[in-house]
Amino acid sequence: MEVTQLLLNAQSIDGSVRKQAEDSLKQFQEQNLPAFLFSLSGELANEDKPADSRKLAGLILKNALDAKEQHRKFELVQRWLMLDATVKSQIKSCLLKTLSSPVPDARSTAAQVVAKVAGIELPQKQWPELIGSLLSNVHQLPPHVKQATLETLGYLCEEVSPDAVDQDNVNKILTVVVQGMSSSEGNNDVRLAAIRALYNALGFAQANFSNDMERDYIMRVVCEAALSKEEKIRLAAFECLVSIASMYYEKLTPYMNDIFTITAKAVREDVESVALQAIEFWSSICDEEIDILEEYAGEFTGDSDVQCSYFVKQALNVLVPILLETLLKQEEDQDQDEGAWNIAMAGGTCLGLVARTVGDDIVPLVMPFIEENITKPDWRQREAATYAFGSILEGPSPDKLTPIVNVALNFMLSALTKDPNTHVKDTTAWTLGRIFEFLHGSTMDAPIITPANCQQIVTVLLQSMTDVPNVAGKACGALYFLAQGYEDVGPSSPLTPYFQEIVQALLTVTHREDAGEGRLRTAAYETLNEVVRCSTEETATLVLQLVPVIMLELHNTLEGQKLSSDEREKQGELHGLLCGCLQVIIQKLGASDQTKYGFMQFADQIMGLFLRVFACKSATVHEEAMLAIGSLAYACGPEFAKYMPEFYKYLEMGLQNFEEYQVCSVTVGVVGDICRALENKVLPYCDGIMTQLLKDLSSNQLHRSVKPPIFSCLGDIALAIGQDFEKYLMYAMPMLQSAAELSAHTAGADDEMIEYTNSLRNGILEAYSGILQGFKNSTKTQLLIPYAPHILQFLDSIYVEKDMDDLVMRTAIGVLGDLADTLGSNAGTMIQNSVSSRDFLNECLSSEDGSIKESAEWTKLAITRAISA
């Protein structure tokens, strides 16, 4: 059967026809990949073929070049690069030819595939003529081809990293794109394609944004497009402005007056999609200024790379009224819709960011709006006033807000019970939560919650929990922060008298028939967790009594009836909530020896329940149950050994879970807990665990964030089993060494990369620490001597690099001591001869960080002993 028919059949509504076609395509691909790809490109380019088969041909081609998962993507890239050059060149010429097709779908699909190929080839310095040929065509072609070419350039900028394109080509691309955007371009499709292309090309424009003339030109064209009559063009232009706000904040000063006028007009008058982007522009400016000001306030005062231009402060008097107006444009029932996003929500969000940016200055601008509207008969006005109040509670100083809150609190409490409108009640409960979140806690000078009003607050919140689900959920949220404020209140909490009542009310909420609506059940359990976490010794027995209650809940959900997949998903969620709650309780009770013993009577049963939760999910393990088991192992100590035979397979499953890397990560942490609990009793399981961990480390499928904890975990194992770690040394050490070499230098990395590198270093160093300490006082310390020079070299190189964070510093100086402590005189000489050990030690000894200093002092002793031995 020819490929056209296969491609059409693959879109048939008849399942069996579709299946057969898909199988045939797959077979074709497996038998002869080059021929398969070539015939797809031929199909896409052929004007005689139906649009549907051409489009699918293009999509299959695209999927043959890229995938979401990193490892798969890597394979596909390698596969394409290995392909015969002649075939590739034929495919590419088909693709370029398709860009001039009169069929829009064919053009657009071809544009995407060209960009994918470019994404693979340009970094390899292949296909050098591509950009030139796209650019040379753009002037002389009919509009639809010009549009497709600009679209291709846009996708190309999205796919390819800026350093794979030389500045000369970047200049040419931007010239073509910006010309296409200008108001002189008569064809709206071309103009829209150009603006969308610019959106992707902004990352390439560093040099051009540093050139005043070029930047002026780009900004002028973007602002013009933002005033276009065509809605799609305005929207695309505002999206560019949002992106420019965060990418080129420091270059914006000359344009802010114009942008302010344009955005203000859009917020007030434009259609919602455009207005939302106009608000988002200001939200992004706030984000930037919050970051800059935070850095100003940080340790390196005034040393920020970017200067704050105080755009928000300057625009404040005009910006705030515009945002307040948006608050009155609520939609009916917006609180029932989880995914809702409208201009009132965006406006309130922006107002909150403005408050965080300017602090106290916003308060006098918002108070009149609140006072005027809060008692109006129209619910929209009351809701808007309340929302405005709630939005500005983070940012201004407690000194400024506390007097206002003291006046408002009673009003809010009464509105929560008496207001006839649920929107108002929803926002009121949320606002109370914000009050407790930001103005209540041990760090506040003037408490807003006093013995006089505490009872009333609790009563009102508990009563609200019987309201409609969205209001009840917000009331739970408010209680969450009420409890959190008493986190470090000391031995006696003002919530103690209400503890039982609160717990009971929350459990009742979880049993409401409508608890599945919104996030009500989740909110109730989360609040229960926080109430437990922040409870004091006074209520320890009540927390203990909660254990069998939650266990029973979990037990009941495990009683097997056949479930639909939808029900199974809900059940999985509920398991998560209950395991999460048990985890919090275990961690609470396990933290003190007095409470731990009471709890231990339940350990067997709880573990049994967790194992049943795992058994419910056939292929994977439950992250929440895994977290809870970690806490249980911590609480049980060596006793945990008896659960290992049954639990081990789930542990292994968790370590194999590459797709849900959070599960893998949590499981790695649990291995550490178990090692500390069991010590050398973990030995029988170590072969399996080590195999899995080493596999994880060498996999490129696993999310990179899991690797640092895996290294730390190697240290946990070594510390637990001591010299029995010997048999793993020959595998673990080379891996540590090569990871150490990779993480030694950070030249040219961005902040995020430096942060990751530091977490990697910390993991590697913790592994070294655990191994060295594990071997201490054994007869096999000499096995480690060959590795010592490399460890010292690693310490030298990260010291010289001068970019380690405090945690790495503490771990690193400890490793120096561990070397001396375990290897004695063998290490002494090496340390004396190392490049920077002395400087590093002296620097740590005079550190202001107590824990670094403490480690350093210990290291000093260990070295003294080693060199004098």
Write out the binding residues for other proteins, residues 556-585 only, by CB under 8 A: 576, 580, 583-584
Nearer to other proteins, 194 or 863 (CB): 863
Instruction: Return the range that interacts with other proteins (CB under 8 A); candidates 38-46, 209-217, 524-532, 744-752.
Output: 524-532
Q: Report 729-768 residues binding other proteins (CB under 8 A).
A: 766
Asked if residue 863 binds other proteins (CB under 8 A), the reply is yes
Q: Report 625-654 residues binding other proteins (CB under 8 A).
A: 627, 630-631, 634
Q: Quote the least distance from Cβ 212 to other proteins, whole Å.
A: 31
Q: Report 532-551 residues binding other proteins (CB under 8 A).
A: 533
Nearer to other proteins, 130 or 795 (CB): 795
Asked if residue 289 binds other proteins (CB under 8 A), the reply is no
3-state DSSP call for residue 357? helix
Asked if residue 467 binds other proteins (CB under 8 A), the reply is no
What does the H/E/C string look like for 755-792? Answer: HHHHHHHHHHHHHHHHHHHHHCCCCCHHHHHHHHHHHH
Asked if residue 620 binds other proteins (CB under 8 A), the reply is no
Q: Report 799-818 residues binding other proteins (CB under 8 A).
A: 814, 817-818
Degrees (nearest 5) of the Cα angle 170, 172, 174? 70
Considering only residues 369, 430, 599, 685, which one is a binding residue for other proteins as defined by CB under 8 A?
430
Which CA distances in Å does 748 have to 36, 256, 336, 795, 856?
A: 42, 32, 48, 20, 30
Token pair in block for residue 205: 């424009």
Considering only residues 103, 106, 276, 739, which one is a binding residue for other proteins as defined by CB under 8 A?
276
Nearer to other proteins, 340 or 749 (CB): 340
Q: Report 320-349 residues binding other proteins (CB under 8 A).
A: 339-342, 345-346, 349
Q: Quote the least distance from Cβ 597 to other proteins, whole Å.
A: 8
Instruction: Return the range that interacts with other proteins (CB under 8 A); candidates 109-117, 500-508, 691-699, 833-841.
Output: 833-841
Asked if residue 358 binds other proteins (CB under 8 A), the reply is no
Asked if residue 841 binds other proteins (CB under 8 A), the reply is yes
Q: Report 842-861 residues binding other proteins (CB under 8 A).
A: 842, 845, 858, 860-861
**Buried-exposed string 633-664: b where 16+ CB fall within 10 A, e elsewhere:** bbbbeeebbebbeebeebbbbbbbbbeebebb
Alpha carbon 330 to its chain's center: 29
Asked if residue 864 binds other proteins (CB under 8 A), the reply is yes
CB atoms within 10 A of CB 800: 14
Token pair in block for residue 26: 């797959």
Q: Quote the least distance from Cβ 627 to other proteins, whole Å.
A: 6
* Cα distance between residue 43 and residue 35, in whole Å: 12
DSSP string, 512-581: -TTTTSTTHHHHHHHHHHHHHHT--GGGHHHHHHHHHHHHHHHHHHHS-----HHHHHHHHHHHHHHHHH
Q: Report 649-688 residues binding other proteins (CB under 8 A).
A: 662, 666, 669, 672-673, 676, 679-680
Q: CB-hemisphere CA count at 13 Å for 470?
A: 14
Q: Are 529 and 577 in contact (CB under 8 A)?
A: no
Q: Report 59-88 residues binding other proteins (CB under 8 A).
A: none
Nearer to other proteins, 126 or 662 (CB): 662
Q: Quote the least distance from Cβ 280 to other proteins, whole Å.
A: 7
Degrees (nearest 5) of the Cα angle 309, 314, 318? 145
Q: Are 70 and 699 in contact (CB under 8 A)?
A: no
Alpha carbon 460 to its chain's center: 35
Asked if residue 593 binds other proteins (CB under 8 A), the reply is yes
Asked if residue 478 binds other proteins (CB under 8 A), the reply is no
Considering only residues 722, 729, 744, 808, which one is a binding residue for other proteins as defined by CB under 8 A?
722
Asked if residue 610 binds other proteins (CB under 8 A), the reply is no
Q: Quote the least distance from Cβ 860 to other proteins, whole Å.
A: 5
Nearer to other proteins, 683 or 754 (CB): 683
Q: Are 248 and 203 in contact (CB under 8 A)?
A: no
Q: Are 591 and 536 in contact (CB under 8 A)?
A: no
Asked if residue 796 binds other proteins (CB under 8 A), the reply is no
% helix, strand, coil for the chain, step of 5:
80, 0, 20
* Cα distance between residue 792 and residue 415, in whole Å: 66
For helices 231-247 and 188-201, give the axis angle rounded to 10 degrees: 10
Q: Report 137-176 residues binding other proteins (CB under 8 A).
A: none
Q: Quote the least distance from Cβ 516 to other proteins, whole Å.
A: 18
Asked if residue 835 binds other proteins (CB under 8 A), the reply is no
Contacts of 519 (CB under 8 A, 6+ apart): 338, 473
* Cα distance between residue 782 and residue 824, in whole Å: 10
Site string for other proteins, 387-426 (x = CB under 8 A): ---------------------------------------x
Number of helices and strands (H, E) in the chain? 42, 0
3-state DSSP call for residue 817? helix
Considering only residues 100, 101, 773, 826, which one is a binding residue for other proteins as defined by CB under 8 A?
773
Nearer to other proteins, 92 or 521 (CB): 521
Q: Residue length, the chain?
A: 869
Which CA distances in Å does 664 have to 148, 714, 851?
A: 44, 15, 30
Nearer to other proteins, 54 or 474 (CB): 474
Nearer to other proteins, 745 or 776 (CB): 776
